[in-house]
Amino acid sequence: MRISLTLALLFTATLAQTAGFRFIDVPADGEGPALRGAMWSPCSKAPGEIDLGNTTVPGVKDCPIDCEKLPLVVISHGRGGSFIGHNDIAEMLADAGFVAAAINHPGDTASDLSRSGDLSVFIERPTDIKRLIGFMIAASPAASRIDMERIGFFGFSRGGCTGPVLVGANPDWAGASALCQQSSSHICEQIQGEEFPAQPLTHIHASRPRSLQTRSQSCSLPTAFARVKVRSNCGHRSVAATA
């Protein structure tokens, strides 16, 4: 399986359609609590709107998936965000023939900031995404439609830190400590001299990503990765993902 991590995406769609939308729930297990989220997928029905209570998003709720071997992109929100925060990117991916999935990171969401200031959220976020990937390829409504050789990642802010750690990177806490000399935040007090426990995708056997960028200053990597493009097999639609 090849995992491509891209934090800046350029999309070129040749056929505009709509996005299917459905809620997903990753069950609690030995690695963490239940995770609430959503998935977006290609949909051949007429565009509509979905009322989520505090917001409305375009799409078709629970739209059947007609295509096979679809690339998957998993999404990690920033501090205090939510699984719906990057719905515009998820909708564009689905419209271009991808499956996209996002979850709330427990304790670090808009509705639950109980651990947003703790180092533990950085440690647990990669595991959350591992569990999301495992659910999507094994038990989600799209499981049989996903191409396991084409799984990508999108992360924003703290999500940008989540991606590299997901494949085994060790954040540059020395650099973060230097930045913390100008801050007295709770996290800065915790990271002095810390070694981040890497959380590689061992159960999925992912190879090193061919494309990786991050805007997170504490999770920067010195290696430059080549451009990677992934195309969908759904109809005539295509999408290019570039880091």
| CA separation for the pair 97, 146 (Å, rounded) | 11
Average the pLDDT over each of 126-135, 176-185, 213-222 and give the range with the smallest value.
Answer: 213-222
The residue behind tokens 């999507």 is: 136
Among 151, 178, 176, 167, which Cα is nearest to 223's? Answer: 167
Question: Using one digit for the tens of pLDDT, what is the confidence trace for 58-112?
Answer: 999 999 998 899 999 999 999 999 999 999 999 999 988 999 999 999 999 999 9
Among 198, 188, 161, 159, which Cα is nearest to 80's? Answer: 159
The tokens describing 167, both together, are 């494949």
Give the whole-number percent of the chain exceeding pLDDT 70.
Answer: 64
Query: For 54, which DSSP code?
Result: S
Please determine, for residue 223, whether its predicted confidence score (pLDDT) is greater than 80. Answer: no
Please determine, for residue 224, whether its predicted confidence score (pLDDT) is greater than 80. Answer: no
With H, G, I as helix, E, B as strand and everything else as coil, classify residue 148: strand
What's the CATH fold of domain 2-219? Rossmann fold (3.40.50)
Backbone angles phi, psi at 213, to 5 degrees: -140, 155
Q: What is the mean pLDDT of residues 2-23?
A: 57
Judge if pTM exceeds 0.85. no
| CA separation for the pair 35, 97 (Å, rounded) | 25
- The full set of domain ranges for the chain reads 2-219
pLDDT of residue 231: 47
Cβ-Cβ contacts under 8 Å for 121 (sequence gap 6 or more): 105, 107, 108, 115, 158
pLDDT of residue 203: 45
